[in-house]
Amino acid sequence: MNSNTEEKKTVEIGSDLIAPPWAKFRKQMLGSFPSPFKSDNDSLADGISLAIRELDKLKPESDKGSAFLGTNSALTIDFENVKDSSLDPKMSTTGEVIKQVIKMFEGLPNWGHPLTMNNVNPQGNTAAIVAAVLSEIFAPNILEGEYAWNVHQAELESAGILANLAGWKPKEAGCIYTYGGSGCWTYHLKYALTRVLPDSRNKGIRTDAKVICSQQAHYTMLNSTDWMGLGMDNIIRIKTDVDTNAMDLIHLEEVLKDCKARKIPIASVVCTMGTTDASAFDPVEKVRELIDKYPNPEGYGKAILYCDSVIGWSWIAFKNYDFKLNPLGFSDAVLPYLEKNYNAIKGIFYADAFGVDFHKTGFSPYISSAFVYRDATEFESLLSRGPSVYLQPRSPYNPLNYTLEVSRAATGSLAGWATLKFFGHEGFQSVLGGILENKVYLQSEMKNNSEMVCVNPEDYGFVTLLRIYPKGVYAQFQFDRELQDPAFRHDLIKHNKMIHLIGDKLFEWYRSGKKINDQCTPYLSYSTGFRATEYNRDMKDPEAVIYAIKIFPLNVHITPEVMNHTLVCIAAARDEVMAHQVVKNTYV
Ligand SMILES: *Cc1c(COP(=O)(O)O)cnc(C)c1O
């Protein structure tokens, strides 16, 4: 039916006094669906434009304003009664609903605000956001060719670009955009179980195959082993080096040797490439050698080597950077960090698969994670289910035959692809290097305050972990004793509690819009144990761990002035905590 007949009928019904009410309501609603035709007053274009302008009203005037949206930072949800909700008998209007949606954004962290430095939560870039929004409008479904048509180029080309960066043959590789770094972990585990336990797809998992990862691995290992049905008890944790936090190869070899002797198959070994706080990278090349040295017993497939590189992946964009000529002019302090990070991440070459979170160090909106595999023929045939009776193959690319998901929005693939296209090598290099320039500046400024100490000076990543001590305490000296000497365990715990209170004070200030030097205070976070003390390597003593304030300047709008202001605010929060009489008695 073409538009003219549809419109005419509706008009006739609308002008007809005996038209049934449903037809009137339906006619009213039509204006709130996007026009399928070219139109100068499409409700969608107008609605989006209006909504963005309304949403922008929640932004502060300048960097002096708060790091959350709007003016009311309180949690306004009535948690007791919020579920006591039912469908309205009457219909509403698009405008009214959008107004209510915008209201929900009141108080939300403003991820782009230069004072937002709490975690790996970067603001998405405009190309990626727009690309993602477009996929919501025309809804390509990348489950197969017929519903995605040319849009599935985004996934295929991403696979090629990412494989090329890893040093793989791009035409032989593949990728699947899925639900986050956790989804990538789960995909790798399915790949591993299918390869190592060939019967498992039909008979279920009947063998306790092991998944090996380091003590610093992300907790999503629990999600994946649990949901995949392998069981969390089948994870083996490898010790990490006290200084580098990387996987201890001697311990790994012991475990592999022991499993081999007992005829226990290994499903996979996971190298974490950039842990959240310590930015540790596991030695992939050496791990590959060990996997090859201790193959699985007869009857089982070869173990998978997976790189959980969802944070660290983007350092790979420094491939081909001339660190000697330094064409982008990074400072002498930052240049060696860039090179170290690149040298650490390039080990993904040795993996069977790696994970990419564009929403972390790819400056893209959620959810845009890519699980990238080296051997597409193997992966796709191992997991193949054969064609569906509902759908007919209309293109050579029909990933629904082997994906976990059935329908898959193109949102993530378009966001990731748009970012790759927009950034190029130069963009990634400038943004990542720029973060480290700010970090290095922050750490050099910290040296001017002897009550502060950076407790992760060896690490080359984005985050600065800081401890601040009471007035007059020489932080470096005090921290060294707390780190090494069990005689200072009491001091350590006392100061951990203080860090905890300072962290909460800073959060309270951020949420209440407190100002220092006429500027709002930063949105930071803290770690309640980013590492153990040296005498507590086996973590038997849960309290002998290092607490620290976390500064994660993963934000393109940050300037050196913001770094200085941050240090001023941390010291002020310390003073406030110390001034509190009760606290003073408890901690000093
Ligand atoms: C964030 C993270 C994950 C989990 O990823 P999501 O995208 O949050 O699902 C897994 N591993 C590492 C190392 C991470 O940093």
Looking at the domain assignment, is residue 296 inside a domain? yes
Q: What is the whole-number distance in angstroms between the Cα of residue 374 and the centre of ligand 1?
A: 21
Which residue CA neighbors atom 3 of ligand 1 most closely?
A: 181
Mutation test of ligand 1: which of 357, 360, 404 has the most ligand atoms closer than 8 Å to its C-beta? 357
Residues 401 and 359 in one domain: yes
Burial status of residue 275 (CB atoms within 10 A of its CB: 0-12, 13-18, 19 or more): buried
pLDDT at 11: 45
CB of 282 closer than 6 angstroms to any ligand 1 atom: no
pLDDT at 197: 98
Residues 455 and 577 in one domain: yes
Amino acid at 45: A
Residues 281 and 273 sit within 8 Å (Cβ to Cβ): yes
Looking at the domain assignment, is residue 442 inside a domain? no
User: Parallel, antiparallel, or unpaired for β 515-516 and 464-468?
Assistant: unpaired
Half-sphere exposure of 489 (CA within 13 A, CB side): 11
Residues 481 and 533 in one domain: yes
Looking at the domain assignment, is residue 48 inside a domain? no
**Distance from the Cα of residue 26 to its chain's centroid:** 42
Looking at the domain assignment, is residue 21 inside a domain? no
Q: Which of 430, 460, 489 is the last residue of a domain?
A: 430
Looking at the domain assignment, is residue 437 inside a domain? no
Residues 237 and 374 in one domain: yes
Q: Which of 395, 430, 465 is the last residue of a domain?
A: 430
pLDDT at 588: 44
Looking at the domain assignment, is residue 78 inside a domain? no
Instruction: Give 581's pLDDT tier (boundaries 50, 70, 90).
Output: low
CB of 155 closer than 6 angstroms to any ligand 1 atom: no
Residues 341 and 312 sit within 8 Å (Cβ to Cβ): yes
Residues 241 and 270 in one domain: yes
Residues 128 and 368 sit within 8 Å (Cβ to Cβ): yes
Residues 451 and 308 in one domain: no
Residues 416 and 489 in one domain: no
pLDDT at 459: 85
Looking at the domain assignment, is residue 13 inside a domain? no
Residues 425 and 451 in one domain: no
Residues 516 and 417 in one domain: no
Per-residue pLDDT tens for 388-432? Answer: 777 778 899 999 999 999 999 999 999 999 999 999 999 999 999
pLDDT at 17: 61
Per-residue pLDDT tens for 156-175? Answer: 999 999 999 999 999 999 99
> b/e string for 55-77 if b means 16 or more Cβ within 10 A?
eeebebeebebbbbbbeebeeee
Per-residue pLDDT tens for 500-510? Answer: 999 999 999 99
Distinct helix (H) and strand (E) counts, the chain: 20, 13
Residues 310 and 342 in one domain: yes
Ligand 1 atom having least distance to the Cα of 276: 15
Amino acid at 258: D
Per-residue pLDDT tens for 275-286? Answer: 877 789 999 999
Looking at the domain assignment, is residue 70 inside a domain? no
Q: Which of 374, 402, 430 is the last residue of a domain?
A: 430
Mean pLDDT of 297-317: 97
Ligand 1 atom having least distance to the Cα of 311: 15
* Residue 190's CATH number: 3.40.640.10
Q: Which domain holds residue 180?
A: 129-430
Residues 501 and 422 in one domain: no
Query: What is the domain count for the chain?
Result: 2
Residues 282 and 325 in one domain: yes
